[in-house]
Structure 1
Amino acid sequence: MSTGRLPEHEQRILDEMELVLRQDRQLTARLWVLRLGPRARAALAGRPHPFTVAVFAAVSCTLLFIGIRTSSPGVVWAFALVWSLTLAGFVRVLCRWTEP
């Protein structure tokens, strides 16, 4: 293969192709995700790590006991938010473990 410059018409075609590809936002996003490591890709794909779900469960339990003890609306709402995230994460992890 030659290492010289492309002929004028081939360079123009290549520039047009690059322009079209740069305008494709979905392709840009997919290529950006591919540059990330496997853990970051898993996090972006909505696949939580089991350790993360366990930490959320521990925080949920702590907020539950604090909410029972204090009856503070802020703590109860924080518990509701963290608990829903914990359940969603648990379901995602469980689905991933049961995939064939």
Structure 2
Amino acid sequence: MLETPTPAPAQFTAFGEGAPPAPTASLDVIAAVQLEIVIALGRTRMTVQQLLQLRNGSVIEIGQAGGLVEVHANGSLVAHGEVVVVGDDLGVRIVDIPQQRIQ
């Protein structure tokens, strides 16, 4: 016959005051996980007819030149930045991190 366990009150350790402890090595486990980073230069709307009329050399206007771009990680907005030239490549300098991402 199986014994029925006797319930007992839960024992919890009290939280200390002050700043939370610094992150531990457990973050090292996910530090190497790769994310898809997408830089969104802008957005616009067009009709199906306009889309079908696109040809090589067509220009799609997406907003003011020199404006901020959006930086997305796995589909979530994580920052805003400005396009910069790095040698022969383009890059993005982060200029703003949305408050909801920081929390």
State the TM bucket, normalised to the shorter chain.
under 0.3
Q: More helix per residue: 1 or 2?
A: 1
By relative contact order (CA 8 Å, sep 6+), the higher-ranking structure is 1
Superposition TM-score, scaled by structure 2 size = 0.25
Q: More strand per residue: 1 or 2?
A: 2
